[in-house]
């Protein structure tokens, strides 16, 4: 296994099965140590810069807490602090090159993948993808840790990733990262989504290829019924296709009336409720990366039931990010 130290984490695509499994093992270890009250100041004296171009509850707070628990420090680099944005007076690459002389790592939530790529290219320090339109590796790591804790190794598990209706239009980053996890770690992923909402087929092709070695598979179907039969986990998420997302941020964050009208027609059909959950295995567990649009993507009845593990999943963002930071920014081996 190649050392993760000093490497960017742009996506699951860049990692081997061994690297993913090792990071998850470290996450589990750090989680146990935290629960036992054993300090692990693995990043003492180190600084992480956070550049977030969208709001974030889980990712921002878990990264900051992770740095604190690892003995380091996180500072927030928003538009009021940097010479970036519309009134930019500094070239983006000059900003990145400069801050990488002070910091030890950057957590970047980018609204455009090319900005994440250029930040990684121009900085001399690891850039961690805190969600971009192509991948959300930190969430995918937390999801796999959660599934492993609940039911053991994910190899051979069946995961139904169910598209749920909501008015916001998030990109398919998590869907792509989950496909890659299935391909690399060897689990069965069945994605249920309406026509026009398929995730990135180029990423699916990579996952399919990886699956030839690992035994993992990715299938796209048009109904919940087909996806959830025999499922160990139902993971609910709402995303738009790469083509729709690429139409532009203004369209996507402010709403395209034609697109919203088309989506609105899917409203009643694409909400995970108790009847859907009952089609899966008896011990099926329900996940969602959050934020959730309750009663449009998934019902309160399901989210508030004992089958829901959404808060364990949210908690695991902290433990997996600590492992990512300790391995990519520090000396942990
Ligand atoms: N799941 C997730 O990334 O949540 P936030 O957008 O709140 O960070």
Region at 220 (left for phi over 0; alpha for psi -120 to 50; beta for the rest): beta
Please indicate, yes or no, whether residues 36 and 184 belong to a single structural domain of this protein: no
Please indicate, yes or no, whether residues 191 and 88 belong to a single structural domain of this protein: no
- Cβ of 118 closer than 6 Å to ligand 1, yes or no, is no
- Cβ of 138 closer than 6 Å to ligand 1, yes or no, is no
Least reliable range by pLDDT among 22-26, 45-49, 76-80, 284-288: 76-80
Asked, for residue 3, whether it belongs to a domain, the answer is: no
- Cβ of 56 closer than 6 Å to ligand 1, yes or no, is yes
pLDDT tops 90 at residue 257: no
Q: At what angle are helices 310-329 and 58-69 packed, to 10 degrees?
A: 50
Instruction: Give percent above pLDDT 70 in the chain.
Output: 96
- Most informative mutation of 52, 54, 59 for ligand 1 (most atoms within 8 A of CB): 59
Please indicate, yes or no, whether residues 113 and 153 belong to a single structural domain of this protein: no
- Most informative mutation of 57, 132, 137, 139 for ligand 1 (most atoms within 8 A of CB): 57
Mean pLDDT value of segment 177-196? 97
Q: How high is the pLDDT of residue 246?
A: 81
* Cα 261 from Cα 113, distance rounded (Å): 28
- Cβ of 139 closer than 6 Å to ligand 1, yes or no, is yes
Please indicate, yes or no, whether residues 113 and 146 belong to a single structural domain of this protein: no
- Cβ of 320 closer than 6 Å to ligand 1, yes or no, is no
Please indicate, yes or no, whether residues 21 and 153 belong to a single structural domain of this protein: no
pLDDT tops 80 at residue 144: yes
Positive/negative CA dihedral, 38, 40, 44, 46: negative
Asked, for residue 82, whether it belongs to a domain, the answer is: yes
> Any idea what DSSP says for residue 6?
T
CATH code of 106's domain? 3.40.50.1370
* Cα 102 from Cα 75, distance rounded (Å): 11
Neighbouring CB atoms inside 10 A of 208's CB total 17
Please indicate, yes or no, whether residues 111 and 161 belong to a single structural domain of this protein: no
CA of 193 to the centre of ligand 1 (A): 21
Mean pLDDT of all residues in the chain? 95
Number of structural domains found in the chain:
2
CA of 173 to the centre of ligand 1 (A): 12
Q: How high is the pLDDT of residue 249?
A: 61
* Cα 298 from Cα 328, distance rounded (Å): 35
Asked, for residue 224, whether it belongs to a domain, the answer is: yes
pLDDT-derived band at 169, boundaries 50, 70, 90: confident
- Cβ of 290 closer than 6 Å to ligand 1, yes or no, is yes
Please indicate, yes or no, whether residues 121 and 245 belong to a single structural domain of this protein: no
Cβ atoms 159, 189 nearer than 8 A:
yes
Asked, for residue 2, whether it belongs to a domain, the answer is: no
pLDDT tops 70 at residue 224: yes
Contacts of 2 (CB under 8 A, 6+ apart): 16, 19
Asked, for residue 172, whether it belongs to a domain, the answer is: yes
Contacts of 195 (CB under 8 A, 6+ apart): 222
CA of 237 to the centre of ligand 1 (A): 12
- What's the pLDDT tens digit per position in 32-69? 999 999 999 999 999 999 999 999 999 999 999 999 99
- Cβ of 131 closer than 6 Å to ligand 1, yes or no, is yes
Terminal Cα distance for the chain, rounded: 11
Helix (H) or strand (E) holding 174: helix 173-185
Q: How high is the pLDDT of residue 118?
A: 96
Q: At what angle are helices 173-185 and 17-36 packed, to 10 degrees?
A: 100
Residue 167 is part of which domain span? Answer: 137-314
Instruction: Give percent above pLDDT 90 in the chain.
Output: 85
CA distances in angstroms from 61 to 76, 110, 121, 247, 312, listed in the order given: 11, 17, 26, 30, 15
Mean pLDDT value of segment 5-33? 98
Mean pLDDT value of segment 284-303? 97
* Cα 13 from Cα 35, distance rounded (Å): 31
pLDDT tops 70 at residue 254: no
Three-state SS at 82: coil
Q: How high is the pLDDT of residue 86?
A: 67
Q: How high is the pLDDT of residue 141?
A: 99
CA distances in angstroms from 22 to 26, 29, 258, listed in the order given: 6, 11, 46
Contacts of 254 (CB under 8 A, 6+ apart): none
Please indicate, yes or no, whether residues 127 and 256 belong to a single structural domain of this protein: no
Mean pLDDT value of segment 112-121? 96
Asked, for residue 222, whether it belongs to a domain, the answer is: yes
- What's the pLDDT tens digit per position in 258-274? 888 888 899 989 999 99
Asked, for residue 5, whether it belongs to a domain, the answer is: no
Least reliable range by pLDDT among 160-174, 175-189, 205-219: 160-174
pLDDT tops 90 at residue 202: yes
Q: How high is the pLDDT of residue 55?
A: 93
Please indicate, yes or no, whether residues 266 and 325 belong to a single structural domain of this protein: no
Torsion angles phi and psi, residue 123, rounded to 5: -100, 150
- What's the pLDDT tens digit per position in 322-333? 999 999 999 887
Torsion angles phi and psi, residue 218, rounded to 5: -130, 125
- Cβ of 287 closer than 6 Å to ligand 1, yes or no, is no
pLDDT tops 70 at residue 251: no
Please indicate, yes or no, whether residues 283 and 145 belong to a single structural domain of this protein: yes
Please indicate, yes or no, whether residues 242 and 119 belong to a single structural domain of this protein: no
Mean pLDDT value of segment 116-125? 97
Asked, for residue 179, whether it belongs to a domain, the answer is: yes
Please indicate, yes or no, whether residues 180 and 215 belong to a single structural domain of this protein: yes
């Amino acid at each position: 296994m190649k050392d993760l130290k000093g490497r960017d984490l742009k996506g699951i695509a860049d990692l081997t099965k061994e690297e993913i499994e090792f990071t998850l093992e470290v996450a589990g270890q750090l989680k146990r140590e935290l629960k036992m009250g054993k300090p692990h100041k693995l990043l003492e004296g180190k600084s992480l810069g956070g550049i977030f171009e969208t709001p974030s509850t889980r990712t921002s707070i878990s990264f900051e807490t992770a740095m604190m628990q690892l003995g380091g420090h996180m500072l927030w680099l928003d538009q009021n602090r940097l010479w970036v944005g519309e009134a930019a007076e500094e070239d983006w690459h000059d900003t990145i090159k400069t801050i990488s002389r002070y910091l030890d790592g950057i957590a970047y939530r980018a609204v455009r993948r090319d900005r994440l790529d250029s930040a990684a290219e121009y900085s001399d320090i690891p850039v961690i993808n805190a969600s971009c339109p192509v991948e959300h590796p930190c969430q995918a790591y937390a999801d796999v840790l959660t599934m492993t804790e609940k039911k053991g190794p994910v190899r051979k598990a069946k995961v139904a990733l169910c598209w749920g209706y909501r008015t916001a239009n998030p990109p398919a980053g998590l869907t792509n990262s989950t496909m890659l996890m299935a391909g690399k770690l060897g689990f069965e992923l069945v994605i249920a989504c309406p026509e026009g909402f398929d995730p990135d087929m180029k990423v699916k092709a990579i996952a399919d290829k990886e699956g030839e070695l690992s035994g993992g598979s990715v299938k796209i179907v048009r109904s919940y019924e087909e996806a959830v039969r025999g499922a160990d986990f139902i993971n609910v998420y709402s995303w738009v296709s790469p083509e729709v997302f690429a139409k532009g941020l203004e369209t996507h964050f402010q709403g395209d009336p034609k697109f919203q009208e088309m989506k609105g027609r899917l409203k009643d059909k694409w909400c995970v409720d108790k009847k859907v959950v009952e089609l899966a295995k008896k011990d099926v567990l329900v996940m969602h990366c959050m934020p959730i649009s309750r009663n449009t993507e998934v019902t309160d009845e399901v989210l508030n039931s004992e089958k829901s593990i959404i808060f364990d999943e949210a908690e695991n963002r902290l433990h997996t990010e600590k492992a990512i930071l300790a391995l990519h920014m520090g000396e942990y081996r």
